[in-house]
Structure formats: C-alpha cells, structure tokens
Amino acid sequence: MQTIEADSRAVVRLALSENTERANETCAETFESITQLDQILYERGGSNAYLYGRVLQRLEQTARIGSTIAEVLTEASFESESRS
C-alpha cells in the first residue's frame, strides 16, 4: 500500500511539474495497482477490509486529482500554442 500511496502523490507532483504524459501513465498504473489490491483485500475479508477500502478510495482520489491537473495543463498548453 505504501507504493500505491507514493505513486498517487507522484501523479500530482508530475502534473504540477508539467510532466503531464508521465503523470497520466503513473495514474493509469496506480489505478491498476489499486484495483488489484482492492480485489485481494475483498477476497480476504477481515475486520479491516472496510478501512483499507476507504484508504484505497482516497489514494485513487489523489491520483485522479493529479490526472485532472495534467489534463488542465495539457489543454492550457494547446490553447496557448493555437494562439501563437
């Protein structure tokens, strides 16, 4: 889960540094990791399954925010290039 956490934050950092392509790639990889881990946790059940599920939702939300930032920066880049 620590790797997923780091990857989620990396999506935001990459997007803010305008490395939008890598941000989107990392986001897709993060979503895949979250889906796989969520399935494993679901199958195991256990008393903490709900808690882990909520943590994974927050990490997915963080990655999605980074992806949105990358999208906005990409659109802004295209708009400024078309004005030139």
* Domain ranges, ordered by start, for the chain: 19-83
Place of tokens 């999208």: 71
Percent of the chain with pLDDT over 70: 96
pLDDT of residue 45 exceeding 90, the answer is no
DSSP characters over 21-67: HHHHHHHHHHHHHHHHHHHHHHHH--TTHHHHHHHHHHHHHHHHHHH
> pLDDT confidence of 14, banded at 50, 70, 90?
very high
83 vs 47, higher pLDDT: 47
pTM for the whole structure:
0.86
Contact 81, 29 (CB under 8 A): no
